[in-house]
A and B are shown apart, each in its own frame.
Chain A
Amino acid sequence: KQEVTQIPAALSVPEGENLVLNCSFTDSAIYNLQWFRQDPGKGLTSLLLIQSSQREQTSGRLNASLDKSSGRSTLYIAASQPGDSATYLCAVGGNTPLVFGKGTRLSVIA
């Protein structure tokens, strides 16, 4: 059974810092990996989708990488801003519906 782990569980950084969020999964037979953002009390907003044949995806200040063989993905956020404060969730897709990690709660301090 697929298991997804996100480290760290919480992170607090000063504004302007570059940071990396980590995601690992146990079964490398995935079709894709999706990163989401969740604000308190809100639904999930998709940030980046990486298909299994891809190594990375970029959107603005966000860059996500995927290493299927090692079961790892990273989300890189450049020049962090207070508006980036949220919970970031990683999810992997295979033959079954998306399996989620528990998320990393990010606080960016002005």
Chain B
Amino acid sequence: DGGITQSPKYLFRKEGQNVTLSCEQNLNHDAMYWYRQDPGQGLRLIYYSQIVNDFQKGDIAEGYSVSREKKESFPLTVTSAQKNPTAFYLCASSGEITGRNYGYTFGSGTRLTVV
């Protein structure tokens, strides 16, 4: 079945450490996205990519980095510059940025906790 796989499900980060969250899709979607979810805050856009080797900052990109070397993969690195990284991270993909025809498909999320 086609879908989006996020790993790991749970991740613990020590102060000053960089960690990478994985996101892989087999839907043949061009566009991929990373959102952050905090209690009571809704989903906020971190980064998105419309095509391989290209990506744009979202509303809260500071302290994060991404790469898009393959169509299927869009990993997110949470750097030590991100002061409050504890949150639920969601990856999504769509056939086109607007999601006009088929909308967005989401993965099951990664819960990151600073210890």
Contacts and interface: CB of A to CB of B under 8 A. Distances in A.
* Interface size, A (range): 20 to 34
* Interface size, B (range): 20 to 34
Contacts of B86: none
A98 B42 contact: no
A34 B99 contact: yes
Interface of A: 31-32, 34, 36, 41-46, 49, 51-52, 89, 91, 93-103
A14 B41 CA distance: 27
Given A43-B109, A97-B97, A32 B45 contact: no
Closest 4 CB pairs of A and B: A102-B42, A49-B103, A44-B106, A43-B108
Interface of B: 6, 31, 33, 35, 40-43, 45, 48, 58, 88, 90, 92, 97-109, 111
19 contacts: A31-B100, A42-B108, A46-B103, A46-B105, A46-B106, A49-B102, A91-B43, A91-B104, A93-B99, A93-B100, A93-B104, A94-B98, A96-B97, A97-B45, A98-B92, A98-B99, A100-B43, A101-B42, A102-B42
